[in-house]
Amino acid sequence: MCDASDRDRLYALYFQKVMAHHDTPETVLDIAPKTSLTRFLKRRANVVVRTADLFMDGVDDKVDVTDMHVYSDGQFDVFICSHVLEHVDDDRAAMRELFRVLKPGGWGIAMVPIALGLTEIHEDPSLKDTASRWKYFGQGDHVRMYSKSGFVERLTSVGFSVDQLGASFFGDDAFARHAIHPRSVLYVVRK
């Protein structure tokens, strides 16, 4: 995957691992898609991808992740929501929508920046200016900083089960071969 980030290579590695023996088409909702990953998914014979974003040009659907009324309940087998929720004022509403549009038995990749030194999520809705958001959340358009336990707790609170998959799942050699940081963790949610 040329021009792919560390996390995109991790997602591709997971797709290769779990879909290697799937013959039936999987419908994938890719929110805030990355070109390299979308291209990788569309080349797979058993994957039908729908891209969505509220602001990005060139996507299939202009969608607010907190209100995805254009999609029916249980429409997708899989979703990818990578580095979106830290930008969303009501991340719980977004998580509920992701749960709603996922088929029973479906799964998703849910990823956010995790601050390993935090024990709980840090958010302050009163911080509106870019400088304060940089100071407290690490980026000018972020509205919160997630702790690992806080992120998992929010995902489970809307009904997801959460798997945290690292090098022990994929293998150290796979991480090295695909240039994935050895401490990377993939958060896979299931309905």
| Confidence check: pLDDT of 16 > 90 | no
What's the order of all strands across the beta sheet hosting 102-111? 61-62, 47-53, 26-31, 76-82, 102-111, 186-190, 161-165
What CA–CA distance (Å, rounded) separates 57 from 89?
A: 22
Return the residue matching tokens 């200016």: 129
Residues of the chain above pLDDT 90, percent: 70
- The pLDDT of residue 22: 65
Task: Assess if residue 128 is contained within a domain.
Answer: no
Task: Assess if residue 88 is contained within a domain.
Answer: yes
Task: Assess if residue 127 is contained within a domain.
Answer: no
- The pLDDT of residue 45: 79
Q: What is the mean pLDDT of residues 123-133?
A: 91
Task: Assess if residue 92 is contained within a domain.
Answer: yes
Domain harbouring 38, CATH code = 3.40.50.150
C-alpha Rg value of the chain to the nearest Å = 16
Between 58 and 5, the more confident residue is 58
Task: Assess if residue 121 is contained within a domain.
Answer: no
Task: Assess if residue 171 is contained within a domain.
Answer: yes
Q: What is the pTM of this model?
A: 0.92
Task: Assess if residue 126 is contained within a domain.
Answer: no
Give phi and psi for 126, each to the nearest 5.
-75, -15
What is the span of the domain harbouring residue 177?
A: 6-116+145-190
Of the pLDDT bands very low, low, confident and very high (cuts 50, 70, 90), residue 62 is very high
Task: Assess if residue 177 is contained within a domain.
Answer: yes
Are the C-beta atoms of residues 107 and 191 closer than 8 Å to each other?
yes
| Confidence check: pLDDT of 2 > 70 | no
**Tell me, what DSSP letter sits at residue 67?**
B
Q: What is the mean pLDDT of residues 91-117?
A: 96
- The pLDDT of residue 1: 42
- Length, in residues, of the chain: 191
pLDDT tens per residue across span 27-57: 999 999 998 888 888 888 788 999 999 999 9
Helix locations, the chain, DSSP H? 6-19, 35-42, 91-101, 130-137, 148-157, 167-170, 172-177
- Strand ranges (DSSP E) for 32-143? 47-53, 61-62, 76-82, 102-111, 122-123
- CA–chain centroid gap for 60, Å, is 18
What CA–CA distance (Å, rounded) separates 49 from 117?
A: 36
- The pLDDT of residue 81: 98
Q: What is the mean pLDDT of residues 136-145?
A: 92
- The pLDDT of residue 167: 93
Between 7 and 84, the more confident residue is 84
Number of domains in the chain: 1
| Confidence check: pLDDT of 185 > 80 | yes
